[in-house]
Amino acid sequence: MKVLRIGAILILLSVLLVIAGGAFGGRGGMQIALLIAVVLNFTSYFFSDKIALASSGAQPVTREQLPRLYQVMEGLAAKANIPVPKLYVVPDAAPNAFATGRSPSHASVAVTQGLLQIMNDDELEGVIAHELSHVRNYDILTSSIAATIAGAVTYMAQMGRWAMLFGGFGGNRDDDRGGGGFSALLMIFLAPFAALLLQLFLSRTREYAADETGVRMVGHPQGLINALEKLGAYNRRIPTTAISPSTSSLCIVKPLFGAGTLSSLFSTHPPLEDRIAALKQMTVTPLR
């Protein structure tokens, strides 16, 4: 059921992109939008992990450099029955972690220096289990595709606004019979908002699912609960200096950028209080 729901959201986003292209540019715009969707999905599939790691300045680490991290990662990967991902450290005092990669065999997990400094072994295990859950469930691939398509819809709407301002809005479209211009005008404002809502719903659903799967991987929720409480406290005080806004949706908690944050209504992450409450009420069942 979860797989069908995720697939439906990705299909809706792709359809929205094509419809937006049709509204802004007629049949030609629809064909261009379809081509954009194919190219962007291809790019996300093969290069989203490299982009996320490079943009955050993540550096690969060996077992000799961080034996504690490797020990936790190898034990949990064995429980999850997936290959051990490549491990990276981000030079950032703000504690956080993210996973990236298109599949379990092409996955990487990055943690910040700040996270390694403040987490005890149980808390670190909870964080890593959460990230390995994203890997196991192919969440990074689906989230990257959703974010890419949503961004394309927003970009297309911005182009439509510029075209409208300069008088080139749909003037040669074959379906321009009075209603076409109005429908395109609606799409300019509604399409980006609809794409954002679909992306946020998918991202929030995946965070709850990763929390649940991570707890089942470890066998108890307390380590992840304590880790989320620490992350919430520290990330309200320490702005990130390395993780970019484009990568923030991959993180276990939303980083603090500068002096402020976006409203929780439009955050890619559910409120930490809600995640912690769900974990406290969770009945732990074995991971299969």
| Average pLDDT, integer, range 82-102 | 95
Q: Which of 64, 74, 123, 131 is catalytic?
A: 131
Ordered by start, the domain boundaries in the chain are 2-280
Question: According to the model, what pLDDT value does residue 257 have?
Answer: 77
Count Cβ atoms below 10 Å from residue 281 Cβ, excluding itself.
Answer: 8
How confident is the model over 174-212, as pLDDT tens digits? 444 444 455 556 566 666 676 667 767 778 888 999 999
Question: According to the model, what pLDDT value does residue 203 have?
Answer: 80
Binning pLDDT at 50, 70 and 90, where does residue 256 land? confident
How many Å apart are CA 98 and CA 51, to the nearest integer? Answer: 13
Max CA-CA distance within the chain? 69
Question: For residue 151, how far is the Cα from the chain centroid?
Answer: 13
For residue 251, what are the β-bridge partners?
98
- pLDDT for 90 beyond 70: yes
The contacts of residue 189 (CB under 8 Å, 6+ apart) are 157
- pLDDT for 88 beyond 80: yes
The contacts of residue 43 (CB under 8 Å, 6+ apart) are 148
Question: According to the model, what pLDDT value does residue 47 have?
Answer: 76
How many Å apart are CA 66 and CA 83, to the nearest integer? Answer: 18
- pLDDT for 259 beyond 60: no
Binning pLDDT at 50, 70 and 90, where does residue 172 land? very low
- The more confident residue out of 238 and 181 is 238
Question: According to the model, what pLDDT value does residue 191 have?
Answer: 65
Proportion of the chain above pLDDT 90, given as a percent: 47
Mean pLDDT of the chain: 80
- pLDDT for 108 beyond 70: yes
Minimum mean pLDDT among 96-100, 118-122, 171-175, 216-220: which range?
A: 171-175
Question: According to the model, what pLDDT value does residue 262 have?
Answer: 45
pTM of the model: 0.77
Q: Is 131 a residue of the active site? A: yes
How many Å apart are CA 288 and CA 279, to the nearest integer? Answer: 19
- pLDDT for 166 beyond 60: no
How many Å apart are CA 237 and CA 94, to the nearest integer? Answer: 9
